Amino acid sequence: MKYLIALFMFVLFASNLTAQKNPFIKEYLERLENSRKYTLLVAKKMPKEKYNFKASEGSLSFAQNLLHIGYAMDWHSQSLLGDRKARTWQTDTVFKVANKSKKQMITLIDETFNEAIKLISKFEIKKLDERLDYFGLSRTKRQILMLLADHITHHRGQMLVYLRLNDIVPPRYVLFQ
């Protein structure tokens, strides 16, 4: 019995030690920080008078893409990974463009990245394998982090096209995101 308890304690200790050494969160945070830098550069590059530019009638404007990145980042990190109740896209006013200046939008995105980074930096590695419902699909919290990164890239990519459509050279790509 003594050996069984010792073995159990060793396995418990070793698994906790291994979990803390898992580099995923550290690498993800580096990626997210670089994503923030690049997103802010893109947001600053577009002149304020072009923030309402749309590539087509049915598409989001440059400003709407920017704030949609913020909304999704807030939802993925604070609500799906954290424990805060989700905002409702249709009724949310925090991430709506109305009455916000370019400076206010950039500040909001920067603050939202800060909040996501703060939450993720404290995220417990062992929770990465927890599953939740994501639009009817079972996904791990690790997958939620990857979905968040993809979503930021998707909408920032649209913003980069909008810069080009306005004859503005995008900022140089920030690596490792």
> From the annotation, which residues make up the binding site for a divalent metal cation?
68, 151, 155
Residue whose C-alpha is closest to residue 33's, from 114, 146, 142: 114
Residue carrying structure tokens 């049915």: 58
Asked if residues 39 and 152 have their Cβ atoms less than 8 Å apart, the reply is yes
Cα-Cα-Cα-Cα dihedral sign, residues 145, 32, 40, 164: negative
Handedness of CA 54, 56, 57, 58 (dihedral sign): negative
Q: Binding-site residues, please?
A: 68, 151, 155
Other beta carbons within 10 angstroms of residue 10's beta carbon come to 10
Which H helix or E strand runs over 39? helix 24-45
Q: How many CB atoms lie within 10 A of CB 70?
A: 23
Distance between CA atoms of residues 24 and 128, nearest Å: 10
